[in-house]
């Protein structure tokens, strides 16, 4: 796509719209409304003054908006008195109205399969996990060795995430296979961070450290020669964050505050724009090597940091892993209770090497 002046379906649609909007007779009684989630590829002839010149960005609803939307979609469903729609709204940042309607529908289906007369809070929570991660494999058979491995892997993620000052709150840890994942640690994103789209350097570093937590725990328990492929997705996430910090976000002193390897105009969604001069400027081999070394330095620093934190909190790592092996699922409140008890006994090592108390407050103030 993007080469020449092809007469494809997209251009035919644009031409038809322009024909309908530029009639020979004036008609002040017609207002044309249109919606798209790809405003970046709209033809300039459509959005010039006099045509679609008023553009309104509709953001996903905030927590109050989601609560109101959930109440609307809950009217035709039998909810148990214990269901707290405000709590559900807090757990679903970034979801649209259609997403929330689908969530309640999935919760109702799960309740019906269990022959329940009412939809309970657990049904909605299970529906949320099913939508975000995948179907739970309740009948999956796991050996004791694999169960221990997955338990320590997820415990590594959860403990590092819970100990970080500027990170999302841990809401649930599970070693029950769900979708493509053998286990999962669920974090609740900060509403303020999602709405603003602003992430601090500390948050990005914490995200890499937490992503490496699973592999670090495997190394501590089984040794470096007996690690598994379970952390491949974690490495992908970690590498993407480090590369973005170096090449796009100006968070590397060696590379400096500049964009490398991408068009400074944001790049086009069509391949042809890169070939016609709209792509990224060429990058020298020296600069490529510098970028690679900086990415490795950033990842290695978080690896070392995470290893020191987990080794310093082996008591907590063992306790959480054993609890996961025993009951398969641990929620955020239980994890924070364990951290508080460890802090009270003087066994907790924080990132700043000081013993501190942790408090679970649904959404951390200051918080995959």
Smallest CA-to-CA distance from 174 within 162, 165, 187 is with 187
Tokens for 17, please give them: 């719209």
| CA–CA distance, 171 with 158 (Å, rounded to integer) | 9
Q: Where are the beta strands (DSSP E) in the chain?
A: 169-174, 184-188, 329-331
154 is catalytic: yes
Q: Find residue 184's DSSP bridge partners.
A: 174
Alpha-carbon distance of 271 to 284, in angstroms, equals 22
367/24 Cα distance (integer angstroms)? 58
Q: What is the dihedral of CA 303, 305, 311, 316, to 10 degrees?
A: -100
Evaluate whether 62 touches 191 at the Cβ level (below 8 Å).
yes
Write down the catalytic residue from 154, 219, 319, 363: 154
Please count the residues of the chain: 368
The DSSP bridge partners found for residue 170 are 187
Give the active site residues.
Answer: 154
């Amino acid at each position: 796509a993007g080469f020449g002046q092809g007469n494809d379906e997209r251009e035919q649609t644009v031409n038809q719209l322009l024909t309908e909007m530029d009639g020979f007779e004036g008609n002040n009684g017609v207002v044309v409304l249109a919606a798209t989630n790809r405003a970046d590829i709209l033809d300039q002839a459509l959005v010039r003054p006099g045509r679609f010149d008023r553009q309104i960005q509709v953001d996903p609803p905030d927590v109050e908006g989601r609560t109101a939307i959930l109440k609307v979609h809950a009217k035709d469903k039998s909810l148990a008195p214990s269901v707290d729609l405000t709590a559900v709204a807090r757990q679903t940042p970034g979801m649209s109205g259609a997403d929330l309607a689908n969530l309640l529908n999935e919760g109702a289906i799960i309740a019906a399969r269990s022959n329940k007369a009412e939809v309970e809070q657990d049904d909605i929570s299970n529906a949320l996990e099913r939508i975000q991660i995948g179907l739970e494999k309740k009948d999956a058979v796991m050996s004791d060795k694999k169960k221990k491995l997955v338990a320590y892997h997820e415990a590594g993620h959860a403990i590092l995430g819970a100990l970080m000052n500027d990170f999302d709150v841990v809401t649930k840890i599970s070693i029950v296979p769900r979708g493509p994942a053998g286990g999962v640690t669920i974090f609740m994103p900060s509403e303020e961070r999602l709405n603003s789209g602003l992430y601090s350097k500390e948050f990005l570093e914490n995200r890499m450290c937490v992503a490496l937590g699973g592999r670090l725990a495997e190394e501590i328990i089984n040794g470096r020669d007996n690690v598994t492929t379970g952390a491949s997705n974690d490495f992908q996430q970690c590498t993407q964050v480090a590369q973005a910090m170096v090449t796009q976000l100006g968070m590397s002193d060696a590379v400096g505050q500049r964009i490398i390897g991408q068009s400074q105009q944001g790049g086009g969604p069509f391949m042809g724009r890169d070939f016609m001069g709209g792509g990224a400027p060429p990058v020298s081999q020296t600069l490529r090597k510098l970028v690679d070394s900086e990415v490795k330095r950033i990842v290695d620093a978080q690896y070392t940091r995470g290893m020191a934190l987990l080794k310093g909190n082996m008591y907590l790592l063992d306790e959480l892993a054993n609890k996961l092996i025993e009951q398969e699922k641990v929620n955020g409140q239980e994890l924070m209770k364990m951290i508080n008890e460890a802090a009270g006994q003087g066994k907790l090592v924080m990132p700043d090497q000081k013993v501190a108390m942790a408090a679970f407050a649904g959404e951390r103030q200051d918080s995959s």
